[in-house]
Amino acid sequence: MRLIAGRLIAYEASQNESSETNVTAAFGVCDRLRRALGKLAGVAGFRSLLLRALTLAKAEAAWLEALQLKADGSLEYPGQKAALAQAEMVQGEIVLVAQLLGLLVTFIGESLTWSLLQEVWPGLLMNEFE
């Protein structure tokens, strides 16, 4: 899952030229998944899944403790975020997205998860599971 998470984050980073300092590529991945899963599981369902992924990811990347999960299921940094090395930030983001993808596989299965990813990012991950 970490390989796929890393690819999704790299893709989002290449697409996001935002000047907002509180927006990361991982937030972009989570937001796209939030919109797609919101149709199936609702906001509360997605928020619960992301909250669990965040809890699991904090064990490997303590800086994730600073993230806030909003009522609509989106993520944000508080006003002041700790200064982190870029590599540490990226690694934590990969862990978070990988946990989220792993939970999706657990709950809806690999096939449906793969279909969802293909719907959200058409053509990006064509050969990952094949």
Mind listing the pLDDT tens digit for each residue in 100-111? 999 999 999 999
130 located within any domain: no
The pLDDT tens digits of the residues spanning 83-102 come to 667 778 889 999 999 999 99
In a domain, 90, yes or no: yes
Q: Report if residue 128 sits inside a domain.
A: no
Domain count for the chain:
1
CB-based contact 68:77 (threshold 8 Å): yes
**CB-hemisphere CA count at 13 Å for 79?**
0
Residue 76, C-beta contacts closer than 8 angstroms, at least 6 positions apart: 22, 27, 67, 68, 70
Residue 129 maps to a domain: no
Predicted structure pTM score: 0.87
Q: In terms of residue numbers, what domain contains 45?
A: 2-13+22-120
